[in-house]
């Protein structure tokens, strides 16, 4: 950073020369300067770090029994203990890894399937499109959670990655549908026609011309799938379909429910895990809001606060939606 | 008309796909849990019921897969889904028939409330952008980011354990005999309020957000400006011009959200031990009752398809463009 400023100072024949790359950089960082997206990314980042180092920094072995049975939060057990004296804070820290791995694996798998099906359907058109769209519509209409439960319930042992695969296989359809619609509208744009006229190969048109224009939608679909996968996986663990010995936040809630934590008033048993889920879910949702506002400038202005709008002399009323140029604000 | 036919064909394909998934799943699974269960209950299951289960789960290795598939359809079309292991020897269809009305009632009422409330609130927020009402959005987002079942747990902790306003589980007072009396109806409502409230709380944000975003888009359309410029009262601009058009995508997203809502409701029933089909599925999973599990999935899917068809018809009534298209 320091070197850039010095070079800028020494070689500033025109202000434009130094300004252009700066603006370009600012625009690239526009997404990150969005407060919602940034908050979301920070939350996800914290959980990602916890997923990596959680099992090492956990104060105790999550399976270690102790004599403090069902004790409320104390100095020794920050989040209390369960009916066998196991430390709940450690369970949450160790469980984070399972949650994040399954969430992101399922997200990646489902996004890959969705991109393959959606972009292919949108690009090839005709009978292939009809068949692929019908396939994704079928998967959209069949209720996912019962399907996941039925599949996972019949598997002899449903470990983390199996669950991720099942979630991905059942959850790709929404992304495929949105991608198909967007590809359909991109297919006839001039730049794609030009590439086709140049004799580019289909593969290259898809990867170099179409996919870059779908980045935001793919990202939004990915984030949405991760949210869904996290919640599904925790739900499956909670109802005891998947292995109850692998720690994740749902397993904690499963044991809490099995041992009537609610009736016993042991709020520390189920509240922290739930809050972690809510926090992670909210982080993911915020990132998606950020992507939405990044893509659709109309929504960007509605995200501003009332005071902010007044300060900038904007009165949102019918007839127009103020399109706010965020980089402008940053320069002020 | 063409619209209706197209959708009809689509639903037939989907129903076929659901049945086929149900047929293929147990045949793909490694190991044979059903065979083990059958061996364990040797002699208790009469031979015709055992044949049905063998057929449903592909334990008949003599027949070709195609023959099995044909026989499977034959069973389904006769309404035979096998015998429940858990409630032996009641047929699966009978077990499901007892719990289905509870789920349909709960989901139906909760969904209608949630849709109406969310659409109205979203309309308000979308119209009056840049006021305090925008603050509602993050709050409702929080409730949708939380898994359904956790919200249910908190609701139980707060309203039944701490405050004691509503019962924590069940669907009616067990000391009563189910009958069409005002007392019994009151008991059903009292037991159903908390589950319904939680479902509404967790699903309303989707409707609010969808409606608000559509209102934002629609209110910058020319016809809304014209309506305003003509000096029409604000109320009629909002309701008659903006909201009327913004609600159409709400209707079409309703059909897509339905599967999701049903999934959430199943979980809610598990938490509240509400005697609907979700609770049944939960018990079936816990007791390795495979015929019941499969039957539940099939019935849930078919119910969602029927609801989707209904939503499609309403959509066609609301939006003349879909009717003219063919």
How is chain A split into domains, by residue range?
26-295
Q: Which of A175, A153, A147, A162 is nearest to A102 (CA)?
A: A162
Quick check: helix, strand or coil at residue B102? Answer: helix
Least confident range of A10-24, A65-79, B230-244: A10-24
**Is residue B75 within a helix (H) or strand (E), and if so which, with residue range?**
helix B65-77
Q: Which of A264, A281, A284 is nearest to A273 (CA)?
A: A281
Q: What DSSP letter does each residue of B192-225 carry, written as one string?
A: HHHHHHHHHHHHHHHHHHHHHHHHHHHTTSHHHH
To the question of domain B95-288 being in CATH 2.60.40.2700, the answer is no
What is the pLDDT confidence band of residue A327, given thresholds at 50, 70 and 90? very low
Nearest to B285 among A149, A318, A320 (CB): A149
Architecture of domain A26-295: Orthogonal Bundle (1.10)
What is the pLDDT confidence band of residue A10, given thresholds at 50, 70 and 90? very low
Whether residue A117 contacts residue A172, with contact meaning beta carbons closer than 8 Å, is answered with yes
Question: Residue A14: its pLDDT value, please?
Answer: 41
Greatest mean pLDDT among A104-113, A131-140, A188-197: A104-113
List the single best residue of A279, A302, A310 to mutate versus B (max B Cβ within 10 A): A302
Question: What radius of gyration, in Å, describes the C-alpha atoms of chain A?
Answer: 25
pLDDT tops 70 at residue B132:
no
Q: What percent of chain B has pLDDT above 70?
A: 79
Residues in a beta bridge with A87: A81
How far lies A159's CA from each of A112, A241, B142, B156, B237, in Å?
A: 22, 10, 29, 30, 55
Tokens of A299: 């929504």
Rounded to a whole number of angstroms, the distance from the CA of B259 to the nearest CA of chain A is 4
Q: Which residues contact B229 (CB under 8 A, 6 or more apart)?
A: none
* Interface contact B301-A146, CB threshold 8 A: yes
Residue A3 CA from chain centroid, whole number: 36
Whether residue B62 contacts residue B108, with contact meaning beta carbons closer than 8 Å, is answered with no
Print the SS3 string covering B15-44. HHHHHHHHHHHHHHCCCCHHHHHHHHCCCC
Q: Which residues contact A78 (CB under 8 A, 6 or more apart)?
A: A59, A89
pLDDT tops 50 at residue B227:
yes
What are the φ/ψ torsions at residue B60 (nearest 5 degrees)?
-80, 95
**Peptide bond between residue B27 and the one before it cis (omega within 30 degrees of 0):** no
Q: Which of B242, B92, B69, B21 is nearest to A141 (CA)?
A: B21
* Interface contact A146-B148, CB threshold 8 A: no
How far lies B217's CA from each of A250, A325, B162, B209, in Å?
A: 39, 18, 44, 12
User: How far apart, in whole angstroms, are the C-alpha atoms of residue B11 and residue A97?
Assistant: 40
Question: Residue B159: its pLDDT value, please?
Answer: 81
More confident: A234 or A325: A234
Name the CA dihedral angle for B266, B268, B271, B275, rounded to a multiple of 10 degrees.
-60
Nearest to A154 among B25, B127, B146 (CB): B25
Chain A contacts in chain B segment 201-240 (CB below 8 A) = 213, 216-217, 219-220, 224-225, 228, 237
Whether residue B285 contacts residue B257, with contact meaning beta carbons closer than 8 Å, is answered with no
Give chain B positions within 8 Å (CB) of A174.
256
Average pLDDT over residues A152-167: 78
User: How far apart, in whole angstroms, are the C-alpha atoms of residue B31 and residue A156?
Assistant: 7
Burial label, B136 (beta-carbon count in 10 A; 0-12, 13-18, 19+): middle
Rounded to a whole number of angstroms, the distance from the CA of B44 to the nearest CA of chain A is 23
List the single best residue of A47, A165, A240, A262 to mutate versus B (max B Cβ within 10 A): A262
Tokens of B103: 């789920």
Rounded to a whole number of angstroms, the distance from the CA of A31 to the nearest CA of chain B is 19
* Interface contact B228-A319, CB threshold 8 A: yes
Nearest to B266 among A134, A146, A278 (CB): A146
Average pLDDT over residues A309-319: 56
Rounded to a whole number of angstroms, the distance from the CA of B188 to the nearest CA of chain A is 22
Rounded to a whole number of angstroms, the distance from the CA of B142 to the nearest CA of chain A is 6
Q: Which of A268, A243, A226 is nearest to A101 (CA)?
A: A226
Mean pLDDT of chain B: 78
Question: Residue A113: its pLDDT value, please?
Answer: 93
State which residue of chain B sits closest to A284, comparing Cα positions.
Answer: B145
Cβ of residue B13 closer than 8 Å to a chain A Cβ: yes
Give chain A positions within 8 Å (CB) of B156.
262
Whether residue B252 contacts residue B264, with contact meaning beta carbons closer than 8 Å, is answered with no
* Interface contact B18-A134, CB threshold 8 A: no
The predicted-structure confidence for A201-221, as pLDDT tens digits, reads as follows 888 888 888 888 888 888 888
Tokens of B4: 């209706």
CA atoms within 13 A on the CB side of B304: 32
* Interface contact A319-B161, CB threshold 8 A: no
* Interface contact A253-B300, CB threshold 8 A: no
Rounded to a whole number of angstroms, the distance from the CA of A57 to the nearest CA of chain B is 26
Quick check: helix, strand or coil at residue B64? Answer: coil
User: How far apart, in whole angstroms, are the C-alpha atoms of residue A193 and residue A144?
Assistant: 38
pTM: 0.77
């Amino acid at each position: 950073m320091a070197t850039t400023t010095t070079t800028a100072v020494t070689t500033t024949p025109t202000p434009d020369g130094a300004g252009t790359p700066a603006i370009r950089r600012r625009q690239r960082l526009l997404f990150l300067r969005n407060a919602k997206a940034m908050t979301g990314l920070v939350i996800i980042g914290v959980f990602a770090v916890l997923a990596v180092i959680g099992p090492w920094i956990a104060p105790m072995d999550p399976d270690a029994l102790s004599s403090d049975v069902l004790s409320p939060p104390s100095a020794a057990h920050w989040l209390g203990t369960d009916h066998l004296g196991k430390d709940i804070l450690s369970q949450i820290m160790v469980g984070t890894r399972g949650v994040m791995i399954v969430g992101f694996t399922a997200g990646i798998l489902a996004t890959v399937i969705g991109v393959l099906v959606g972009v292919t359907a949108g690009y090839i058109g005709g009978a292939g499109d009809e068949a692929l769209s019908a396939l994704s519509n079928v998967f959209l209409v069949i209720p996912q959670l019962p399907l996941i439960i039925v599949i996972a319930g019949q598997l002899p042992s449903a470990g983390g990655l199996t669950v991720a695969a099942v979630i991905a296989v059942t959850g790709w359809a929404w992304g495929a549908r949105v991608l198909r619609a967007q590809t359909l509208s991109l297919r006839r744009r001039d730049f794609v026609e030009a590439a086709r006229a140049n004799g580019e190969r289909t593969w290259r048109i898809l990867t170099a011309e179409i996919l870059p224009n779908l980045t935001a939608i793919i990202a939004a679909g990915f984030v949405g799938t991760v949210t869904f996968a996290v919640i599904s996986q925790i739900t499956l663990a909670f109802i005891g379909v998947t292995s109850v010995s692998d720690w994740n936040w749902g397993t904690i809630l499963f044991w809490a429910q099995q041992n009537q934590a609610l009736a016993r008033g042991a709020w520390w048993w189920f509240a922290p895990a739930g809050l972690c889920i809510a926090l992670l879910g909210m982080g993911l949702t915020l990132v998606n809001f950020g992507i939405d506002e990044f893509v659709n400038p109309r929504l960007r202005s509605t995200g501003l606060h009332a005071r902010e709008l007044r300060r900038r002399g904007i009165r949102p009323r019918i007839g127009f939606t103020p399109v706010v140029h965020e980089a402008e604000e940053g320069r002020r | 008309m063409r619209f209706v036919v197209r959708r009809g064909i689509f639903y037939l394909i989907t129903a076929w796909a659901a049945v086929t998934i149900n047929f293929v799943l147990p045949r793909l699974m490694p190991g044979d849990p059903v065979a083990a269960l059958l061996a364990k209950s040797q002699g208790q299951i009469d031979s015709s019921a055992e044949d049905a289960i063998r057929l449903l789960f592909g334990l008949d290795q003599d027949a070709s897969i195609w023959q099995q598939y044909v026989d499977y359809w034959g069973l389904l079309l006769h309404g035979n889904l096998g015998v429940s292991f858990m409630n032996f020897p009641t047929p699966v269809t009978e077990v499901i028939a007892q719990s289905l009305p509870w789920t349909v009632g709960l989901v139906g009422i909760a969904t209608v409330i949630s849709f109406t409330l969310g659409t109205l609130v979203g309309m308000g927020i979308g119209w009056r952008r840049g006021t305090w009402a925008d603050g509602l959005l993050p709050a409702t987002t929080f409730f949708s980011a939380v898994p359904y079942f956790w919200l249910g747990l908190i609701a139980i902790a707060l309203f039944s354990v701490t405050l004691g306003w509503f019962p924590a589980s069940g669907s009616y007072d067990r000391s009563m005999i189910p009958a069409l009396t005002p007392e019994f109806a009151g008991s059903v409502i009292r037991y159903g309020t908390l589950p319904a409230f939680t479902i509404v709380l967790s699903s309303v944000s989707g409707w609010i957000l969808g409606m608000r975003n559509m209102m934002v888009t629609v209110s910058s359309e020319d016809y809304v400006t014209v309506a305003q410029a003509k000096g029409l009262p604000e109320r009629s601009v909002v309701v008659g011009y903006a909201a009327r058009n913004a609600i159409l995508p709400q209707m079409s997203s309703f059909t897509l959200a339905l599967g999701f809502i049903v999934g959430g409701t199943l979980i809610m029933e598990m938490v509240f031990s509400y005697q609907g089909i979700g609770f049944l599925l939960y018990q079936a999973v816990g007791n390795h009752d495979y015929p019941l599990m499969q039957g539940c999935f099939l019935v849930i899917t078919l119910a969602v398809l029927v609801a989707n068809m209904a939503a499609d018809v309403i959509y066609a009534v609301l939006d003349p463009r879909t009717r003219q298209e063919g």
